[in-house]
Amino acid sequence: MNIINKVKDLDRKLDCFITVDEKSKPLCEGKLSGYTVSVKDCFCTNGLRTTAGSKILENYIPLFDATVVEKVKNEGGLIIGKTAMDEFGFGTFSANCAYKIPKNPWDLNRSCGGSSGGAGCISAVLEKHIAVAESTGGSISAPASFTGTVGITPTYGRCSRWGLLAYANSLDKPGIIAGNVKDAALGLSIIAGYDEKDSTSINEKVPDYTKSCRTNLKGIKIGIPKEYLSEGIDEKVKSHFYKAVETLESLGAKTEKVSLPMTKYALSSYYIIAVSEASTNLAKYCGIRYGATLPLKGNFDEFASKVRTKYFGEEAKRRIMLGTFTRMSGYRDAYYLKAMKIRQMIIDDFKKAFKKVDVLASPTMPVIAPRFDEISKLTPLQNWAMDILTVAPNLAGIPMISVPCGFADNMPVGLHIIGNHLDESKLIHTAYAYEQKANLNRGAEI
Amino acid sequence: MIGLEIHVQLATKSKMFCRCPTGYDESKPNTATCSICLGLPGSLPVFNKKVLDYAVKLSMALNCTFPKETYFSRKIYFYPDMGKNFQITQNESPLSRNGYIEIDLNGKKKKIRIRRVHMEEDPAKLIHIGKITDAKYTLMDYNRSGMPLCEIVTEPDMESPEEARIFMNKLNSILQHLGIFNPDFCTIKADANVSIEGGERVEVKNISGFKSIEAALKYEIERQNKEMKSSGKIERETRHFETETGTTHTLRKKEAEADYGYIFEPDLPVITLETDYLAKMRDVLPELPDARAKRIHEQYKLDKSVADTIVLDKHLADFFEECAKKIKNYELLANWVLGDLLKCINYNSITINDVSKNGFMELMEFIEKEKISPRQAKEVIKVFVEKGTSPKEIVKKMGGEAITNDKEIEAVVKKVLEKNKKAVDDYERGNENSFNFLFGQVMRETKSRAHPDIVRRVLKKLL
Amino acid sequence: MIDEKTVEHIAKASRLELSSDEIKKFSKQFSDILKEFEVIDEVDTGKINPCFHPVETKNVMSEDRVTECLSTKQALSMTEHKENGFFRGPKII
């Protein structure tokens, strides 16, 4: 069966693509020759529909490629399509996608996680596949954990955001999901790098991350933040995590307890900053120059309100309104500015820890992938609380990787390894050594 | 009291956050746009370094102080002229603060304080089919979107429309001297805050160009005075100035401060204003109007007020100084430049740059050496400015150089006296007007070529 | 607490229309969320500066050069609201 037909077949069962590119051809020979690549639907693809999971961009055909897409094309990657996601990245289960809700290949009644759910899903079932994904508050780690795949969220600014449909600009980080650490490292080596089109991208040389795939962990110090193993974490998840720590120690790593006292403020600070920025990014969608629209009627305010009300989903509306509130004069200092200050304190927390240890380790998600019927019963706040372990490193813009560390109730559990700014190599080293020893990566049968 | 917020478009080659050209064709909508200035999803702004250089120079010329760091903010408002529905501007951290411009009020110096200078992007141009209030729909041209602007905010230090005009003229001269404003493709716009004794502050928006400011303020103050007389109060409001009619109209009544929900612009890094950079900018700062006026006053021994007037127009001052290399009677030169030359330029609606320096110097040499009479010179300069013909040619056509020879003039005077016996009689009976009449006849007879002083002397002698 | 009036206000400021049921629902949800956000009140941020970017880049700027623009056709290619090279939008007032 040719690859596109195979992808279409998988998509029929799993709903992981918003758009499959049937005409795709590799542009050239390169490091990605022989690989298929999927792109989360929040990245612009020249001439290929890009929706960010939202109805407001239902027929949007970008005029340019995102930088990470261009880099993939230049290395001979075959882009098979655009993966499903929560609308503009607003979610942890991909259940807020306006098109399809990807199903977890390990149990079709369960979520793939989000917001890069489609990316996690396809990486779990397709070999030699690299999924270009994006994380704002945990959108790479969550699906990697839930689908038994490897997800790398690099340092903020390591990969260019040019062509990324913004959720929260100071938090958005392009990254990779793949079936194993080596493929993820390869993917990151290709999409990382300075870009003059993104003024916040970091002007530092990109190492070949695949060279960090080494198996000995002698000399590596791993910190275990005690705040990340509090009562909210599922006991089964915890026990797999402790087993993983033993494995890491058996490879020569030293582990020690560390404390990140600002942890309890991370969730609120994260959501305040994220919605404040998101509400400004989504202001541009008003039905005039591009995107979904209506016949011109009424004045501009009435027209824009009609278009936005019709095409934005509920979670988008919730975050737009909350973000409008948190930056409104009178509240701005207490919410937006205060959260920005706490963000600095959270970074300082991590910096202090990294003076003592090389990397930090914790469970990636507090639970295994929930069932859709469970998700539908969650309040927005309970929903947001699922990000409890991922928001702090995302706020700090430090890199993190999730690798499978076992199965609870036949569902994958993720080990989260977190590093200092630009320490992606250390994460890949640690994760690779663990992966080789634990030997838990296996594709889902479908 | 009057305070101004002035928006100056800066004369960079490319726009503020993208590399689309600033010098686009006004008649061709949406020909100078890209994904950034259209605000397309996925695009990111990249700040134009030249905009910073220009804004820093302007701040220095306005005697402002700089913070260590400055950054951009998003000002969120829904309006079709903003592709992103927010404007990248500066809010709590403007580029510079606390400066001043010194203006001259009939010889008295007054400092108009500058509260802040900040950088921001210009919105797109909207065309309302019909009036803004009853248009059926709006057309949008994004060529202007993203043009670099400097906003200058003054304290409410101006006490009359005349002061505001003098302030704007001084600002214009500073912009010209800095070379950061090009009237060929840059515009300048102002919003004015106007309040009279006992009334609330009224904001007048949409005052375009240097010249409208005085008219708009005059109208508004008169309106407020009338309003105060009839109702005893002025309400807080925002008004719109209509250039065509020279009047202001209510736009929004008594509105609370609009809530723009500012956030830091997360797509742009902080700008640090390093000492080295500022020193470098200060080094390349050109001579500014105040210093230049002082130098011109000293170097050419001109009245201070004359020097001040000359530097109000950089090009005029350049013209003067260029001519002064050859024409050494500086006072005479200044009189002609500021007098008849300016008058003729304004009459013909051209600029000083359209006038040939060599031609003008030729004319000035004629005047300086009294080869033509002042009257003749006034005629010559009119033709010279209008047609661009060389003064030599014009003088020749007009019958030649001035007649400074007593004998030649005596001959003409005699002829005139012969012809006008009655006037001579009247003069002898004590009618002074007759003298003027006879003088005029002599001038006409010589096509103004005769030197008036000699004509007067000869007339008196022969009468 | 975010009362229904505040929800109406922020919906309007966000250019969104809400039904009365939605206003009730969001009022409840926002109140719960803000209660959760209250946790940050206990942090003494003292002299801490707000963090704009987790990894600071500074003074990143472009030279003042002109590059190619989109053609008018391309600029207008994504919308049906156009006329003679202009975008067309609803009236302002």
Which residue in the block uniquely carries the two structure tokens 């007032």? C93
Averaged pLDDT, A224-243: 95
Q: What is the number of structural domains in chain C?
A: 1
The reply to whether residue B45 touches residue A288, judged by beta carbons under 8 angstroms, is: no
C29/A contact by beta carbon, under 8 A: yes
SS (HEC) of chain A: CCHHHHHHHHHHHHCCEEEECCCCCCCCCCCCCCCEEEEECCECECCECCCCCCHHHCCCCCCCCCHHHHHHHHCCCEEEEEECCCHHHCCCCCCCCCCCCCEECCEEEEECCCCCHHHHHHHHHCCCEEEEEEECCCCCHHHHHHHCCEEEECCCCCECCCCECCCCCCCCEEEEEECCHHHHHHHHHHHECCCCCCCCCCCCCCCCHHHHCCCCCCCCEEEEEHHHHCCCCCHHHHHHHHHHHHHHHHCCCEEEEECCHHHHHHHHHHHHHHHHHHHHHHHHCCCCCCCCCCCCCCEHHHHHHHHHHHHCCHHHHHHHHHHHHHCCCCCCHHHHHHHHHHHHHHHHHHHHHHHHCCEEEEECCCCCCCEHHHHCCCCHHHHHHCCCCCHHHHHHCCCEEEEEEEEECCEEEEEEEEECCCCHHHHHHHHHHHHHHHCCCCCCCC
Averaged pLDDT, B422-444: 85
Look up the CATH number of the domain holding residue C3: 1.10.20
pLDDT for position B254: 64
C11/A contact by beta carbon, under 8 A: yes
Q: What is the pLDDT of residues A324-371, one digit of tens each?
A: 999 999 999 999 999 999 999 999 999 999 999 999 999 999 999 999
Task: Please check the confidence at residue C93 and state whether its pLDDT lies above 90.
Answer: no
- Size of the A and B interface in Cβ pairs below 8 Å: 103
Residue B438 binned pLDDT confidence (cut-offs 50, 70, 90)? confident
| B281: chain C residues, CB-CB within 8 Å | none
pTM, to two decimals: 0.92
**From the candidates C4, C27, C33, C87, which should be mutated to test the interface with A, based on the most A CB atoms within 10 A?**
C33
pLDDT for position A356: 97
Shortest CA gap C37–chain B (Å) = 19
Domain contains C32: yes
pLDDT for position B409: 84
The reply to whether residue B269 touches residue C58, judged by beta carbons under 8 angstroms, is: yes
pLDDT for position C70: 97
Q: Where are the alpha helices (DSSP H) in C1-83?
A: 4-13, 20-37, 72-75
A333/B contact by beta carbon, under 8 A: no
Most confident of B229-243, B306-320, B398-412: B306-320
pLDDT for position A282: 98
pLDDT for position A106: 97
pLDDT for position B257: 59
Which residue in the block uniquely carries the two structure tokens 């609308």? A87
Task: Please check the confidence at residue B398 and state whether its pLDDT lies above 90.
Answer: no
Tell me which residue range forms the domain holding C29. 1-41
| A157: chain C residues, CB-CB within 8 Å | 53, 55, 57
Among A429-438, B452-461, C59-68, which is the least confidently predicted range?
B452-461
What are the structure tokens assigned to A283, written together?
């202001």
Domain contains C90: no
The larger pLDDT score, comparing residue B179 to residue B458, is at: B179
| A155: chain C residues, CB-CB within 8 Å | 55
C52/B contact by beta carbon, under 8 A: yes
The reply to whether residue C78 touches residue A60, judged by beta carbons under 8 angstroms, is: yes
Residue A378 binned pLDDT confidence (cut-offs 50, 70, 90)? very high
Task: Please check the confidence at residue B373 and state whether its pLDDT lies above 80.
Answer: no
Task: Please check the confidence at residue B404 and state whether its pLDDT lies above 80.
Answer: no
The reply to whether residue A57 touches residue B263, judged by beta carbons under 8 angstroms, is: no
Domain contains C33: yes
For the annotated catalytic residues of A, the residue numbers are 40, 115, 139
Q: Which domains does chain A have, with CATH numbers?
A: 3-261+344-438 (3.90.1300.10)
The reply to whether residue C62 touches residue B128, judged by beta carbons under 8 angstroms, is: no
The reply to whether residue A199 touches residue B267, judged by beta carbons under 8 angstroms, is: yes
CA dist A434 and A429 (Å) reads 9
Q: What is the pLDDT of residues B42-56, one digit of tens each?
A: 999 999 999 999 999
- Measure CB to CB from residue B76 to each of A162, A169, A283 and give the nearest one: A283
Residue B256 binned pLDDT confidence (cut-offs 50, 70, 90)? low
Averaged pLDDT, A396-407: 98
Q: Which chains touch C (3 or more CB pairs under 8 A)?
A: A, B
CA dist B419 and B438 (Å) reads 10
pLDDT for position B78: 94
**From the candidates C6, C7, C12, C16, which should be mutated to test the interface with A, based on the most A CB atoms within 10 A?**
C16
pLDDT for position A434: 98
Q: What is the pLDDT of residues A270-320, one digit of tens each?
A: 999 999 999 999 999 999 999 999 999 999 999 999 999 999 999 999 999
pLDDT for position B133: 67
Mean pLDDT rounded to a whole number for chain A: 96
Residue B426 binned pLDDT confidence (cut-offs 50, 70, 90)? confident
Q: Which chains touch A (3 or more CB pairs under 8 A)?
A: B, C
Domain contains C34: yes
Q: What is the pLDDT of residues A197-231, one digit of tens each?
A: 999 999 999 999 999 999 999 999 999 999 999 88
pLDDT for position C1: 78
- Measure CB to CB from residue C72 to each of B31, B135, B266 and give the nearest one: B31
**From the candidates B44, B70, B139, which should be mutated to test the interface with C, based on the most C CB atoms within 10 A?**
B139
A199/B contact by beta carbon, under 8 A: yes
What ipTM score was computed for the predicted complex, to two decimals?
Answer: 0.97
Domain contains C35: yes
Residue B451 binned pLDDT confidence (cut-offs 50, 70, 90)? confident
- Measure CB to CB from residue C16 to each of A305, A343, A381 and give the nearest one: A305
Percentage of residues in chain A having pLDDT higher than 90 = 96
The larger pLDDT score, comparing residue B255 to residue B379, is at: B379
- Whether A143 contacts A111, CB under 8 Å: no
C33/A contact by beta carbon, under 8 A: yes
- Measure CB to CB from residue B140 to each of C50, C70, C89 and give the nearest one: C89
| Residue of chain C minimizing CA distance to A299 | C91
Task: Please check the confidence at residue B224 and state whether its pLDDT lies above 90.
Answer: yes
Shortest CA gap B34–chain C (Å) = 5
Mean pLDDT rounded to a whole number for chain B: 91
B406-462 belongs to CATH 3.40.50.2000:
no
Task: Please check the confidence at residue A259 and state whether its pLDDT lies above 90.
Answer: yes
Domain ranges of chain B: 2-186+256-280, 287-397, 406-462
Averaged pLDDT, B154-174: 95
CA dist B440 and A401 (Å) reads 100
C85/A contact by beta carbon, under 8 A: no
User: What residue type is A159 in one-letter code?
Assistant: C
Q: What is the pLDDT of residues A106-138, one digit of tens each?
A: 999 999 999 999 999 999 999 999 999 999 999
Long-range CB contact pairs, B399-403, < 8 A, 24+: B399/B446, B399/B447, B399/B449, B400/B449, B401/B366, B401/B371, B401/B372, B401/B449, B402/B370, B402/B371, B402/B372, B402/B373, B402/B376, B402/B449, B402/B450, B402/B451, B403/B446, B403/B449, B403/B450, B403/B451, B403/B454
The larger pLDDT score, comparing residue C9 to residue B401, is at: C9
pLDDT for position A1: 63
Task: Please check the confidence at residue A402 and state whether its pLDDT lies above 90.
Answer: yes
Question: Which of residues 163 through 222 in chain A touch C, CB cutoff 8 A?
Answer: 170, 196, 199-203
Shortest CA gap A201–chain B (Å) = 10
Percentage of residues in chain B having pLDDT higher than 90 = 65
